[in-house]
């Protein structure tokens, strides 16, 4: 698989970790840092260390989990960079899932007004979505990614071998973003996914999903227009994810599980607003429900969900902004929905 060219950087696939070693030797950074969490330190760092055994680096470790993607942990990263003597010719290698690549990218993009960083995503979710496109961010007060920057990495290195370290639930979570890419951009991809499922993913499917994300980002790097379609399912999905994080202490929803709920609700809104046919709605809902178990949304949670949605960074003039489907493989953006319509979409999900 040939490298994918993005905005001033390259996404590597074939022999990607060897490409990382080459990148570092050619770039001649003054200092190299690797950011890991306690999971990737055990399962992924030894693989990277074997490739980079001739490269000196300092290790920075954070605690895994969306609940730790906040300013306090960023301050910890900045302090470690200071303690290790990082200068503006340093590079931060973010080795982990979406939480780590989002937060590591943000920490690097703001430290000393910006140092270089590269992404080495280790989960399916981070490979097909979070590590590509130059969005960095942290959460605040249960609002996802409300603080962040648009800063492109210097390179992305995709090693699908890391996926063998994940359990089925994590794979299923990342699979949701691939479904989204089919729904908003590529109907043929969506058809393939219906028969494959997350258990039979291939490198070709992962590659195609990243291609889609990259094509959209190149067309609209700063999310002024087309890039907004990548938010399909995320307005309601992010609210459900944030709510679950604070209310389902034993087992909160993973990102992909939450946005799968968002897909169903926002597909219903697409139908309700006369953008999306009833047959396409049925096909979409059946495909998602085949993969993702039902989550028991309670009606009393609706006001809290709406409050989270009202803080969404995509909103405009106090209106809650959605990207909605016109057909499978095609999506529009800047579609505004009323509170009543949003509650109706949540009722629709609960009725299934």
> In the annotation, is 43 catalytic?
no
First to last CA, the chain: 41
Burial code (b: 16+ CB inside 10 Å, e: under 16) for 165-194 equals ebeeebbbbbbbbbbbbbbbbbeebbebbe
Query: Measured between alpha carbons, how far is 146 from 225 in angstroms, rounded to an integer?
Result: 19
Query: Measured between alpha carbons, how far is 284 from 6 in angstroms, rounded to an integer?
Result: 30
> In the annotation, is 79 catalytic?
no
Phi, psi of 31 (to 5 degrees): -145, 145
Residue 12 and residue 1 in contact, taking contact as beta carbons nearer than 8 Å = no
Selected catalytic residue, list 180, 208, 227, 335: 227
Selected catalytic residue, list 69, 172, 228, 255: 255
Selected catalytic residue, list 66, 177, 257, 266: 177
> In the annotation, is 199 catalytic?
no
Residue 92 and residue 35 in contact, taking contact as beta carbons nearer than 8 Å = yes
> In the annotation, is 234 catalytic?
yes
> In the annotation, is 247 catalytic?
no
Residue 158 and residue 148 in contact, taking contact as beta carbons nearer than 8 Å = no
Selected catalytic residue, list 39, 94, 142, 231: 231
* Neighbour tally for 66: CB within 10 Å: 20
Selected catalytic residue, list 238, 241, 266, 321: 238
Selected catalytic residue, list 66, 223, 257, 266: 223
Nearest of 317, 347, 352, 311 to residue 334 by alpha carbon: 317
Residue 106 and residue 138 in contact, taking contact as beta carbons nearer than 8 Å = yes
Query: Measured between alpha carbons, how far is 3 from 266 in angstroms, rounded to an integer?
Result: 34
Query: Which spans in 229-294 are helix H?
Result: 234-247, 255-272, 278-291
> In the annotation, is 177 catalytic?
yes
Selected catalytic residue, list 180, 228, 234, 335: 234
Residue 262 and residue 233 in contact, taking contact as beta carbons nearer than 8 Å = yes
Query: Measured between alpha carbons, how far is 211 from 202 in angstroms, rounded to an integer?
Result: 14
Selected catalytic residue, list 2, 28, 53, 113: 113
Nearest of 157, 141, 201 to residue 176 by alpha carbon: 201
Selected catalytic residue, list 69, 135, 180, 181: 135
Selected catalytic residue, list 144, 213, 228, 335: 213
> In the annotation, is 231 catalytic?
yes
Residue 241 and residue 299 in contact, taking contact as beta carbons nearer than 8 Å = no
> In the annotation, is 296 catalytic?
no
> In the annotation, is 255 catalytic?
yes
> In the annotation, is 135 catalytic?
yes
**Residue 178 DSSP SS3:** helix
Q: What are the catalytic residues?
A: 113, 135, 177, 213, 223, 227, 231, 234, 238, 255
């Amino acid at each position: 698989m040939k490298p994918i060219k993005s905005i001033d950087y390259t996404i590597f696939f074939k022999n990607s970790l060897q490409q990382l070693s080459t990148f570092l030797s050619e770039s001649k950074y003054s200092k190299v840092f690797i950011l890991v969490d306690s999971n990737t330190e055990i399962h992924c760092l030894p693989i990277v260390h074997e490739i980079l055994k001739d490269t000196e680096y300092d290790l920075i470790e954070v605690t895994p989990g969306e609940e730790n993607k906040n300013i306090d942990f960023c301050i910890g990263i900045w302090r470690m960079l200071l303690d290790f003597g990082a200068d503006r010719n340093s590079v931060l290698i973010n080795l982990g899932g979406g939480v780590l690549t989002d937060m590591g990218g943000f920490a690097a993009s703001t430290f000393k007004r910006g140092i270089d960083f590269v992404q080495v995503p280790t989960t399916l979710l981070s490979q097909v979505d979070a590590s590509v496109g130059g969005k960095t961010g942290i959460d605040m007060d249960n609002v996802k990614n409300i603080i962040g920057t648009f800063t492109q990495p210097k390179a992305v290195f995709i090693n699908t071998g890391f996926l063998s370290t994940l359990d089925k639930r994590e794979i299923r979570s990342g699979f949701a973003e691939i479904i989204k890419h089919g729904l908003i951009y590529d109907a043929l991809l969506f058809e393939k996914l219906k028969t494959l499922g997350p258990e039979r993913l291939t490198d070709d499917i992962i590659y195609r999903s990243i291609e889609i994300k990259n094509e959209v980002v190149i067309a609209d790097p700063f999310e002024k227009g087309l890039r907004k379609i990548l938010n399909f399912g995320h307005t309601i999905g992010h609210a459900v994810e944030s709510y679950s994080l604070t209310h389902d202490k034993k087992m909160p929803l993973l990102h992909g599980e939450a946005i799968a709920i968002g897909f169903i609700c926002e597909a219903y809104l697409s139908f309700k607003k006369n953008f999306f046919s009833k047959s396409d709605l049925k096909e979409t809902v059946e495909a998602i429900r085949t993969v993702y178990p039902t989550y028991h949304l309670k009606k009393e949670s609706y006001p809290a969900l709406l409050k989270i949605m009202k803080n969404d960074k995509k909103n405009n003039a106090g209106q809650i902004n959605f990207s909605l489907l016109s057909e499978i493989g095609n999506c529009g953006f800047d579609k505004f929905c009323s509170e009543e319509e949003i509650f109706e979409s949540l009722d629709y999900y609960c009725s299934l």
